[in-house]
Structure 1
């Protein structure tokens, strides 16, 4: 949530659109809740999370190399793409470096509860991909997370729903892994389950705990309110 608070002016999470934010900052808040923790993990733990979420799209370029460093950027500034140099702002850019070979740059675009058209999503992600050119020193992977699957996206992209992410997080919560990774799994799964119940009327789980939210999930602008 730190990135969303500092960079996007988000002060509350999962607030009805009529209450706050014409441009629906719920999406920014959810993105930060899921990906900001990776910035505070070791490179190996952050990569373990991303491997679980994206699967073979990541394991293939990583191979048997050892990860030695990583960087997590949410809404990186000052990026421009295309002949007209239009402003371009991916939701998250993850960079992993290894003991040998090229770095791996993973570009993510999130759509929380926005019914974006296939054409618009393809255009947006294509522009983002052009910023980070593939080379001998860099491999590039792109992914999108949406409320439901969008047909006709570029096949090379990893496409997930928030339900998919929640399921991956849930599997990590009980896995034999580091404390940081399992904690991320538990907290993110719980958060997305509750967020899904609130905004999407529930992900498709067999068991759901009742969840009621009459006020924002996080304190608003004034702590004394």
Structure 2
């Protein structure tokens, strides 16, 4: 356990003695970029239960200690700050409290789209795919449609695999999750790849109209 912690903290011990001298190692996932260890939690985790006019940021967010242990790195905290600032911007623009935004599907979708699209810079990850960088043509569509439940990710992988082909059966299954009014147009042609598929979906679906999944209640026995 101690050795694993040392590696995660960017330390390289100079001897086999884990209590001995060590040197700092600037590893690929320990830096100030926004690609530091993907993780996610709901927007309502930024909103205090009682106090109005306040948003969580950094490590002051509404998550369990288990989740917090996976959200403690610099890159993740930077993304939390970007999300919190975007919520604050929308609250000021619309004259509403953060808790109102957290349960308003259209406003949540607007925040997600704003973050994924980027304003004066690269977009922000909404879904933790490792192989779709912000400059990829399918970045925004893949992230938003997965977050909305239209595109189902592989539960055992953090890869989107944008160049992989889409079978007819896969495409038909995806279309069943698309609003009925959009299915006929999308069914006309089978996309050549996953990247092409999400881009085709994004051109037809009105993302802001997609509902949010129901938030579990504190005493709800259902599994998340």
Confirm or deny a common fold (TM above 0.5): no
Q: Which has the larger radius of gyration?
A: 2
Bigger RCO of structures 1 and 2 (CA < 8 A, at least 6 apart)? 1
Question: Into which bin does the TM-score normalised by the smaller protein fall?
Answer: under 0.3
